[in-house]
Each structure stands twice: as C-alpha cells, then as structure tokens.
Amino acid sequence: MKRKRFQAIASLSFALILVLDAGWQGRAQDAKGPYPSMAPLDQYLMTDRNAEIALARSAAPDVISRDADVLVLGRHGYETAFKGKNGFVCVVERGWMGPFEGDGSHNFWNPKIRGPICFNPPAVRSILPLTYKRTELILAGQSKAQIIEGIGTFIKQGLPPLEPGAMSYMMSKEQYLSDGGPHNWISHLMFYTPLMDGAVWGADLPHSPVMLNPQFRGAPEPINVFMVPAGWWSDGTADPVSDR
C-alpha cells in the first residue's frame, strides 16, 4: 500500500507566461487528466513571500535549513530570497518537477502542489539546474513535448555532470503532493544516481526501505532518484512509516 500510494503522488524531488495571451493554453495542453493544461500563473505563485521561505526551510532540520540559500518562485522564475552560508539550497517545487508521463504525471499541472526540498551542495550544482530549466520552459508557455525537447538539448549542451553524493531532504509536514487525503507523504531523503537497475539498491523489494522514484528515470533526464524514509519530520516529531 505504501508504495502504491507513492506511485500515485510521486515526488516532485522547475520567460514569463502572458496570462492574457489565449495562445499559451494551447501550447500547454495535455490530452486528459484532472489538470489537462497549465493554470494561470498566479495560481502557482505564493502571495506571502515569507510563508514560501518558511515552507522551503521546513524541508530539512533547522540546523541545515537555517543556513541554506532559500529560493522563491516569481513571475520570471526562481529568485534568491535568502542567502545562506552552508551550500545547501531550499526551495518549494511545483508539480511540473514530477514525471511527464505515467505514475504521478496527473499532478504535473496541478497548481496546488507544493514540494519543499533542500538540496545538498553536490545536488545544488548538478540537480538544481534541472529545476531552473524546467521552470524556465514552463514559464515560457511550452507544452510537455517542447519541454522534453528543451531538456534534451540542455542535457547535451549545459547540464553539469551528476556529482557523487548528490542528495536532498524532503522532511516537511507541510508538503502538498496530492489532492487525495492526506496531502503529504512520508518524510524521506532522496539520493541521485546515474541510471541503473534499482536492484543494485534493493529498491522496491519486500521489507526494503528503499524506493525508486519515477521522477526522472531517463525521461528525459538520465538520473535515478532513490528514496529512503527518514522516520521523523524536520521538526523532530515522529513519522512512523509502519503507520502508513
């Protein structure tokens, strides 16, 4: 049940849209699902900047997030709202950081999705650029097909090599990853690797705590994301996986 639930709300481990331009909806259309196209940009933005900063920081324990850079989403992309000193970056990802197709893709255009995440320094250098690039293409009003093509070009021309040790924290009680209740999933850590057989990690085997996230997996990013439950939230309160 736990893994089925994960597959349904997969992690979200992101040019300006001119909302009055009737053409952007056609470029952002998908064939089916509860969110078949991109909503107006304002629905993806958080009006309270301080609330977005606090939500981003809730992704990791305070001892990490208080000294991290914090990004907030603006009309032209992510902006640095706080400059830290430990090399970590905390940000609230939107639904478009999920899979393009298959498990979890129904939330791609969901404007309510909020995925607080804190990247460690190796992930800042080699994973966070994907958040920036996807967001740039989204805010340009591009369709999924155009975004996939743009990401493919970026991978060939500008994506930094994946650094060993790249990982992130998703330990926020306030995450909103699905419209079904509850809206959050388990507190967990994510580890980024080149594409490989999940069996190398023992992922998704009975009683194994390791799960393979469908977020990237070569479609088109050549990256696997392995997830491990943390067992407690970033505020230190318990999040017993056995109760899920």
- pLDDT averaged over consecutive 10-residue blocks of the chain (244 residues)? 42 28 36 82 97 98 98 97 98 95 86 97 97 96 93 90 96 91 84 95 96 87 95 93 54
pLDDT given for residue 183 in this prediction: 67
pLDDT given for residue 185 in this prediction: 85
pLDDT given for residue 8 in this prediction: 38
pLDDT given for residue 18 in this prediction: 22
pLDDT given for residue 175 in this prediction: 95
What span, in angstroms and rounded, lies between the C-alpha atoms of 227 and 13? 10
Residue type, 130: L
User: In the numeric block, which tokens belong to residue 114?
Assistant: 């909020």
pLDDT given for residue 105 in this prediction: 85
Helices within 80-143 (DSSP H only): 121-126, 128-139
pLDDT given for residue 20 in this prediction: 22
pLDDT given for residue 19 in this prediction: 23
What span, in angstroms and rounded, lies between the C-alpha atoms of 173 and 143? 32
Tokens 């349904």 correspond to 8
pLDDT given for residue 32 in this prediction: 63
Order the strands of the 77-82 sheet from edge to edge.
77-82, 69-74, 89-93, 115-119, 167-170, 188-194, 223-229, 211-213
